[in-house]
Structure 1
Amino acid sequence: MASQQPIGVLGAGSWGTALAILIARNGHPVWLWSHSAQQAADIAQQRENARYLPGIDLPDTIDVTADLPSLVRNTRDLVIAVPSHAFHNTLVALRRHAEGPLRVCWGTKGFEPNSGRLPSAVFHEVLTTHGTVPAVISGPSFANEVALGFPTALTVGCEDDAATQQFTDWFRNERVRVYTSTDLVGIQLGGAIKNVMAIATGICDGLGLGANARAALITRALAEMTRFGIALGGQAKTFSGLTGVGDLLLTATDDQSRNRRLGMGLGAGGSITKLIKEIGQEIEGINTARVLYEKSRELGIQMPISEQVYRVIFDDLDPASAVTTLLGRAPREETD
């Protein structure tokens, strides 16, 4: 039987709203928090997130608020679904208002912009001394499809067995299969790196290079993701699962992906400034491309696809030239 203590979902974008809907449908009362009082009021009045998930009604058991102190006083169970650049400040606000240990599961994907740290590293800096149990939820999942109740498989990463059971109960039902893992680093790296690879695949398709090129690019993108992930402490098997190849395939091949759409626009000759404005939501792959470029050079890890995406975005490299550079690389053992 579901607990009557509400679960707070922090972040009223598409993913936060979708997770709030999923949790509410599983019998839990939910408080959905927005940093914007106007957005919170609009969603509460309309009973839908008209900007991010139009046409999908909120269950009656979701309350919408911009009052974070009140939310934190009334629950210790939280899901964070804010952009990576807002993750640190959100945790600081939680620390300020929390009156005891929390259970925190985040769906944030990406790296902290200035430091290049994963969310787990930020968490351990800000909240670990408060006895708070951390977890991450990830996997191949578009917010719109989760909110509509389409079949989905997700992975919850947590190192605490008892807490893992609680976290999985928030999300699992007859339409959502939840797997578990203790590899928080690998899960987060897969969720971040795949966004850069989706930009690369979008560029490929925007240039009209065909199915052969797309298949080759995604295959080598997985090799690159795994190489980098292992170097930073992730487990190799994680990248062959839902949060690695699964999320990569989804994000790189479907036009619901904001990162893929950015790449397609760049491949077709579009301006990145105009494309970002047209997409109108967070495109995590932009910052992640910069972080991957800097970290791979620092650690001596070969990341040729990520490097070319970085150069297209930040050095204004012509996308066709990026493809020429990738194809012109010297032969090497495929499994290296």
Structure 2
Amino acid sequence: MTRCAVFGTGSWGTAFSMVLADAGCRVTMWGRRAALVDTLNATRENPDYLPGVTLPDTVTATADPAAAARDAEFTVLAVPAQTLRGNLERWAPLLAPGTVLVSLMKGVELGTAKRMSEVIEDVVAGEPAKEGAGAGGAGGTGGVRGRVAVLTGPNLAREIAARQPAAAVVACADEEVARRLQTACHTPYFRPYTNTDVVGCELGGAVKNVIGLAVGIADGMGLGDNAKASLITRGLAETARLGSVLGADPRTFAGLAGMGDLVATCSSPLSRNHTFGTNLGRGMTLAETIAATRQTAEGVKSCESVLDLARRHAVDMPITETVVSIVHDGKPPLVALKELMSRSAKAEGH
């Protein structure tokens, strides 16, 4: 059996653990709360995030990161994006030699404006290679990059935990590694495709959270389908503009990691970012909305880092700017909408 470690016991980490187990892997989940870990092992259920869903027998949990990481062929990282660097700095010395590092996170790091795969490379490349790791170990950025993979797409955790059909993209610079991960998570209900465009896949996942907030705000304000369709379409254009400057393949944004993930996030009540935005659009303050949200809505923090990344590369992203002005600057949504709509007219391709 392929051994997998999943760091994170939130809804997506738990759901993806099920996918791996259903594909024939043996999975050890790491959780920071010992009480939840004990509950997972005793009841085969994660009551905090996926109540009523029974975990396969080949999924176990531990609060010991070394035990989770031991002998794992794939190490899956499913923690909030802004906590990745600090967590991984503690876990990196414990990782199995040559393990493939799989990011489930969809965000951009505050301060550095780095994608999650870049954060992983930063941390792991700084660790001395373990004995026996060889050229594929953590001895250099090139070696690390070839074993950092990203899994993304329209993957709402609750639906996947119910084993409803879904597709995803497995992206890695090393195509053979992507195919290995594809095999490890391919089930009758979960269909992964491979891609070597890590940049495009990560940007699609990060920016769609920001656009999801925008569409949620529009819903909360009671705006119509025309407005929401416009936000989705122009939001995708913003993503593609940034991707073009960063070297992404334009075709990625027409696929599951781009349009597919964007549509799911902007249209589903299961989307945390959409729900967060809806509450803001209804007039709740940021503090009130945070208090009403149990799980992390990655776009809330990543909207600032996405905008930072865009400005570093002189890319215009007006919807992202509008979301930042509402979420972090306290601008009333109606005022922000009027400013967005009054921007100078231009050709659609710009």
By how many angstroms is 1:41 displaced?
A: 1.2
Take 2:169 and 2:251, find their aligned partners in 1: how far apart are those partners? 13
Equivalent residue for 1:39? 36
Equivalent residue for 1:313? 327
By how many angstroms is 1:293 displaced?
A: 2.4
Contact 1:154–1:178 under 8 Å retained in 2: yes
Is 1:298 the counterpart of 2:298? The answer is no
Take 1:78 and 1:293, find their aligned partners in 2: how far apart are those partners? 30
Q: 2:338 aligns with which of 314, 318, 324?
A: 324
Contact 2:220–2:279 under 8 Å retained in 1: yes
Contact 2:12–2:157 under 8 Å retained in 1: yes
Equivalent residue for 1:50? 47
By how many angstroms is 1:152 displaced?
A: 0.2
Equivalent residue for 1:125? 122
Take 1:314 and 1:98, find their aligned partners in 2: how far apart are those partners? 37
Pick which of 211-220 and 69-78 moved more. 69-78
- Counterpart of 1:8 in structure 2: which amino acid? A
Take 1:36 and 1:113, find their aligned partners in 2: how far apart are those partners? 25
Contact 1:84–1:113 under 8 Å retained in 2: no
- Deviating runs (4+, > 6 A) in structure 1? none
Secondary structure in 1 aligned to 2:79? coil
Take 1:230 and 1:103, find their aligned partners in 2: how far apart are those partners? 27
Contact 1:262–1:272 under 8 Å retained in 2: no
Q: 1:66 aligns with which of 63, 88, 100?
A: 63
Is 1:82 the counterpart of 2:79? The answer is yes
Is 1:164 the counterpart of 2:178? The answer is yes
Q: 1:210 aligns with which of 174, 199, 224?
A: 224
- Counterpart of 1:327 in structure 2: which amino acid? M
Q: Where do 1:1-336 residues align within 5 Å?
A: 4-98=1-95, 100-128=97-125, 129-130=138-139, 131-132=143-144, 133-336=147-350
By how many angstroms is 1:99 displaced?
A: 5.0
Pick which of 245-254 and 117-126 moved more. 117-126
Take 1:270 and 1:99, find their aligned partners in 2: how far apart are those partners? 46
Q: Which runs of 5+ in 2 are unaligned?
A: 126-137
Pick which of 86-95 and 117-126 moved more. 86-95
By how many angstroms is 1:119 displaced?
A: 1.0
After superposition, give the CA deviation of every residue in 1:5-41 in whole Å (9 maximum; x if it has no partner): 4211111000000000111111111111112222211
Contact 1:76–1:102 under 8 Å retained in 2: yes
After superposition, give the CA deviation of every residue in 1:233-255 in whole Å (9 maximum; x if it has no partner): 22211111101111111101111
- The two structures, once aligned, show a CA RMSD in angstroms of 1.4
Take 1:71 and 1:292, find their aligned partners in 2: how far apart are those partners? 32
TM normalised by structure 1 equals 0.95
By how many angstroms is 1:168 displaced?
A: 0.4
- Counterpart of 1:20 in structure 2: which amino acid? S
Take 1:43 and 1:250, find their aligned partners in 2: how far apart are those partners? 28
